Amino acid sequence: MTEEEQQLAALRERAVAELATIETTDGLDEWRLRYLGRERGELSAILKGLGRLPGDQRKQVGQAANLVKVELEGLAETRRGELRAQERAAALEREQLDVTLPGRPITRGHMHPLTRTTRQIAEIFERMGFQTFQGPEVETDYYNFQALNIPQDHPARDMQDTFWVLPGQILLRTQTSPNQIRIMERMRPPVRAIVPGKVYRSEATDASHEAVFHQVEGLLIDETCTMSDLRGVVERFAHEMFGANRKIRFRPSYFPFTEPSAEFDMDCINCDGAGCRICKYSGWLEMGGSGMVHPKVLRGVGYDPAIYRGFAFGLGIERIAMLRYGVEDIRLFSENDLRFLSQFR
């Protein structure tokens, strides 16, 4: 064995022994550079030195060196495969996800008590043949006041303090009544409609007054309608909502767009009319305003008051929800306190 062949055998042995101790792919890269690297690799140095050997030796050592090179390359690739598998397994171990952990429950939402009340109200009136409509919250002075027989500078405007968007022209509606006009402009009698929705008034708030609250408007127009039909419809509503024993009373009132006008109350559900804190010891709870649609309003939308007549009413939805659920402060509905809201699941 020539000196070169001995050198080669020793190099092979060292390389194979070292390879077995390598634990990372980075370490393997270094090993590769050290033994097989083109520039500074030990095997390359032997191959480069072949030129100095006599012809027959050059061939022999060259072949042996190539065999060692191929063998080491093969061993290195096998080791690389093993190390990669180890590294992947270690990474998986580190990133382990325990899929047996129970998930975090997603709490289900539910309807706001006012939405629920509004839907119940609509269902009751729908059973009486009323159709539900919606109207704009940003209204014109014309629909909110003028077409309802409340001209500019009329003292009746003082009953509803107003948020103006464009002073004198555009406002946040103070009542759902402008929808009486919008509906009559679009439909020919007979009309049976209700319009629930938000209304706005520049009011000081207290336990029974909000600046943003909800009303439901009712409108019925045909050829034979009377005030007793109004009473029948309101009473039927109260019975379906609060039970068949409830009493309704009408009090004379004033609204420029109805004649005659009346406010209606229901006997207090807390004390059955005996008088208590809830009804301020009167025995009655105010529910809404109403009346027979004013002939001027009918004429304004092109209905002939000699042929058509009708009634309209406006109910406060918060007031109804307060009675239904025994809520004593109207402000709770808009405070978004989950301790309050989650009671209405």
The tokens of 231 are what? 């009473």
Size of the site for ligand FA5 (CB under 6 A): 22
Shortest Å, Cβ 276 to ligand FA5: 19
Shortest Å, Cβ 179 to ligand FA5: 10
Shortest Å, Cβ 209 to ligand FA5: 4
The tokens of 49 are what? 């030195």
Judged by CB, which is closer to ligand FA5: 37, or 260?
260
Among 318, 321, 322, 332, binds ligand FA5 (CB under 6 A): 318
Give alpha helix (H) positions in 49-129.
55-94, 113-127
Distance CA 177, CA 189 (A): 18
Distance CA 194, CA 122 (A): 7
Window 130-169: contact mask with ligand FA5 (x via CB under 6 A): ----------------------------------------
Distance CA 244, CA 241 (A): 9
Helix (H) or strand (E) holding 27: helix 25-36
In the numeric block, the tokens 């003292």 are attached to 155
Shortest Å, Cβ 103 to ligand FA5: 43
Output the CA angle 273-258-225, nearest 5 degrees: 85
- Parallel, antiparallel, or unpaired: how do β-strands 131-132 and 191-200 relate? parallel
Angle between helices 55-94 and 3-21 (to 10 degrees): 0
Shortest Å, Cβ 318 to ligand FA5: 5
Helix (H, G, I), strand (E, B) or coil at 144: helix
Which residue stretch of 18-26, 72-80, 300-308, 315-323 sits at the interface with ligand FA5 (rule: CB under 6 A)?
A: 315-323
Shortest Å, Cβ 106 to ligand FA5: 35
Among 32, 246, 309, 319, binds ligand FA5 (CB under 6 A): 319
Judged by CB under 6 A, does residue 29 bind ligand FA5? no
Judged by CB, which is closer to ligand FA5: 181, or 330?
330
Among 288, 297, 298, 321, binds ligand FA5 (CB under 6 A): 288
In the numeric block, the tokens 């990474």 are attached to 91
Maximum pairwise Cα distance, the chain: 133
Among 258, 267, 284, 309, binds ligand FA5 (CB under 6 A): 258
Q: List beta partners, residue 219.
A: 193, 312
Of 175-234, binders to ligand FA5 (CB under 6 A) are 175, 177, 201, 203, 209-210, 213, 215
Give yes or no for a contact between 305 and 295, defined as CB atoms under 8 angstroms apart. yes
Shortest Å, Cβ 265 to ligand FA5: 9
Q: Which residues contact 259 (CB under 8 A, 6 or more apart)?
A: 291, 292, 294, 295
The tokens of 110 are what? 């539910």
Among 28, 68, 312, 322, binds ligand FA5 (CB under 6 A): 312
Cβ-count burial of 26 within 10 angstroms (0-12 exposed, 13-18 middle, 19+ buried)?
exposed
Shortest Å, Cβ 319 to ligand FA5: 4
Q: Which residues contact 55 (CB under 8 A, 6 or more apart)?
A: none
Which residue's C-beta sits nearest to ligand FA5? 316
Among 200, 284, 303, 313, binds ligand FA5 (CB under 6 A): 313
Among 125, 200, 255, 303, binds ligand FA5 (CB under 6 A): 255
Shortest Å, Cβ 153 to ligand FA5: 19
Residues that bind ligand FA5 (CB under 6 A): 175, 177, 201, 203, 209-210, 213, 215, 255, 258, 286, 288-291, 312-314, 316, 318-319, 330
